[in-house]
């Protein structure tokens, strides 16, 4: 690959459309969700991890367990270039926050039954 090809690929990556689907999950240590990212409508990568770090949300690359790795995991996909990495991480963070807000709004809209009324109704049976 020559320098012109590398530059063209980097420029295309920055202008690429990115669509994100997030799935909040029951927290397990720092893991709080997963994301799938579609690049330019032609490639989808599943398994990005949404993690709660000390400084806020962090997006982890998709990976699989690997006992030979020093961390115990090996990335199965990796974003190359700071601009595309920032663009994907920002899109995943925004989508995760929007999804959590939507879930919170749904939960708030559900009326919680009064415990005494439920028990009284059961006693009437």
Q: Over the stretch 70-79, which tens digit does the pLDDT of each residue have?
A: 888 899 999 9
Question: What number is the average pLDDT over the span 79-94?
Answer: 94
CA pair distance 82, 59, nearest whole angstrom: 14
Whether the Cβ atoms of residue 59 and residue 92 lie closer than 8 Å to each other = yes
Task: Give the chain's domains with CATH numbers.
Answer: 3-123 (3.30.1120.40)
Cα–Cα separations (whole angstroms), residue 91 to 39, 50, 59, 85: 12, 12, 10, 10
Each residue's pLDDT tens digit, 95-114? 999 999 999 998 888 866 77
Q: Which of 121, 62, 123, 122 is nearest to 92 (CA)?
A: 62
Angle at 60 between CA 9 and CA 71, to 5 degrees: 110
pLDDT at 125: 65
3-class secondary structure, 25: strand
CA pair distance 32, 34, nearest whole angstrom: 7
CA pair distance 90, 20, nearest whole angstrom: 10
Each residue's pLDDT tens digit, 31-79? 999 999 999 999 999 999 999 999 999 999 999 999 998 888 899 999 9
- pLDDT of 10 > 60? The answer is no
Q: Residue 14 — pLDDT band, cuts 50, 70, 90?
A: low
pLDDT at 26: 94
């Amino acid at each position: 690959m020559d320098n012109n090809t590398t530059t063209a690929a980097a420029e295309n990556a920055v202008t690429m459309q990115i669509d994100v689907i997030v799935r909040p999950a029951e927290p397990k240590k720092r893991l709080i969700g997963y994301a799938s990212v579609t690049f330019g409508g032609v490639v989808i990568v599943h398994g990005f991890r949404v993690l709660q770090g000390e400084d806020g949300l962090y997006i982890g690359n998709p990976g699989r367990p690997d006992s030979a790795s020093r961390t115990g995991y090996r990335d199965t996909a990796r974003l190359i270039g700071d601009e595309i990495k920032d663009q994907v991480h920002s899109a995943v963070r925004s989508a995760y926050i929007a999804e959590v807000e939507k879930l919170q709004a749904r939960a708030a809209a559900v009326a919680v039954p009064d415990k005494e009324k439920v028990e009284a109704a059961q006693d009437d049976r």
